Structure 1
Amino acid sequence: MIIEINDLVKRYGKLTALNHFNLQVKKGDILGLLGPNGCGKSTAIHCMLSLLTYDKGEVKLFGEHMSPTRYDLKKRIGIVPQEVAVFDELNVIDNIDYYCGLYITDKTTRKQYVSEVINLVGLEDFTTFTPKKLSGGLKRRLNIACGIVHKPELIFLDEPTVAVDPQSRNKILDSIKELNRQGATIVYTTHYMEEVEQLCNNIVIVEKGQVIAEGSKEQLKGLIKVNEKIVIEIPDFPSAIKEQLLQLTGIIDITYDNVFVTLNTEKSKTVFTQVLHILEKNQIAFGNFYTQQPTLNDVFLEITGRELRD
């Protein structure tokens, strides 16, 4: 195991931020560490990195006990914080070279590593730019480059795509996949569930300082009642029709946003046909309709009872 956390407890006075928190991350995983704000994710990461002391429990990284003085383990870790942490007075290449120099003393190796990471994150055309001349997306890429330039075995990425343009987001996600292909184990936190679906082979949901669900995206979706969604475009959706539909076996609930009716359903081969029959029987005009599988956001809503962005 790259990460082993057993019964971790962290208190701030009367507040218990981590309540017997347990986590295991295998070599080569991309772990999505998810949960609403204030659930304990950041506290858990800070404890893993020995940036915070904790009241009880055990943290092992690379099979070794982690402590504030384990610099041999810290050299094998890369951290990309949510806040951009670069030097405004240095240009792109000098920023990256500085962070690389904290770990790599050989000048030839350092030059090679800096060149490789610039290509990885797509900053080839901006090496002489200072951060203030970069767009938000390019700053994010620079932030990532500084955190991973020393080729760490374990990388913590804290919401690396916040407020970036689609081009930068795609480049960042591609870079993360490439890092993983090169052997890095990654712990990834984000509020963008589509990124989790795209990247992560294992997902942990944290709530009130505890792991409340863990598994692949398929396993997590199997934990909830919703098996399929039926989405129908209906310009006028009478409440009486909604009540009729709710009587059908297999309908869990129905929402309407003044354009689309969304029916959350359990597994049923006939429910779709029955829904259309009721609409046609009552002469309800409808447009496009389709079915979709449950999403990780549906998992959140059912397991935690609230949106991830709370």
Structure 2
Amino acid sequence: MSAPARLLAVAVVAALALTGCAADDSTGDGDKASAAKPRTVATDYGKVEVPAEPKRVVVLNHALAGYLYDLDVPVTATIPEDADGKGEFSPYWADEAKKDETTFLPWSVDGFDLEAILKLEPDLIVGGGVGFPLFQAEKVYDDLSDIAPTVLVGKKLGDWRSQFSFLADDVFGKKDVYAQHLAAYDRRVTEVKKAITPPPGPVSFLAMTGDGTAYGLVESVGLPTEFKKVGIEPAPVFAKGGFKVYGGGGDMFELSTEKAGQTITQPSVFVMGFNADTTDVATLKKNPVYGALPAFKSGHAYDLPYWVLRGDYDESMALLDIIEEQFA
């Protein structure tokens, strides 16, 4: 039997078992979850019927898990931040993960472990987001949907606001929770903007992989736009450089070392690793190409932790603290 057929068969058996449980309910009321109405959610991949009160949610992107904890939605399992990694809870939701007894699913560059997901008997799967996890989820969307209702956060939802809003309002019916978090963030932005003296601008951004590959950040999406809100102006590097976005994320473009030397000529630059703290300003400065850049020579190259690159709500709030500490 093929993997999709096997998964579908198991899903049908599970559905019949649930039907039997409902028939055995002598009160006629059912439990609290069955009494509430499921939600029909429109996604880029079709409409999905989501349980009113899901109890066993699998999240197939480490970067999305924080939203569910913020929404008080139980997370049964998620995947490591890196494919083939052991997995580590974010410090911003580690306590909630331990309380939920969240576990890590196997995840490799070849894809998700469908058998492992199936064994968890999820009642909802949430996946997608920015980058590789979305690409992999799209490839097996039908198989995932055979296991449980599957909601993918599409590539158009490229920042924490759109992702959080979609999950809070459309998927889980908790619009007020998102509104409260957004108001808190906006208040903090106002505080930080008043407190800091921005570095010389405009600024650019470099993300480095473990093998030394450099990526610039597209200034109109994601992290650079968060800096712009507090008065740190991103340079139009991507808009004027004729670059192509890298992969499916839409927020980065690859730079050879030579090209970086010709492109990252702005008065200030922010440096971070990709999926890990792979480098820092002090290390890059030893490279003649980077060391000769204006920002490095003038002392206006600044380190950022890797997790700010595609930060969720909690990480974006933490970024504001970093900016305030650096430039107040």
Q: What's the TM-score once normalised by structure 2's chain length?
A: 0.27
Greater RCO, CA 8 A, separation 6+ = 1
Whichever of the two has the greater Rg, that structure is: 1
Greater helix share, 1 or 2? 2
TM-score, with structure 1 as normaliser: 0.28
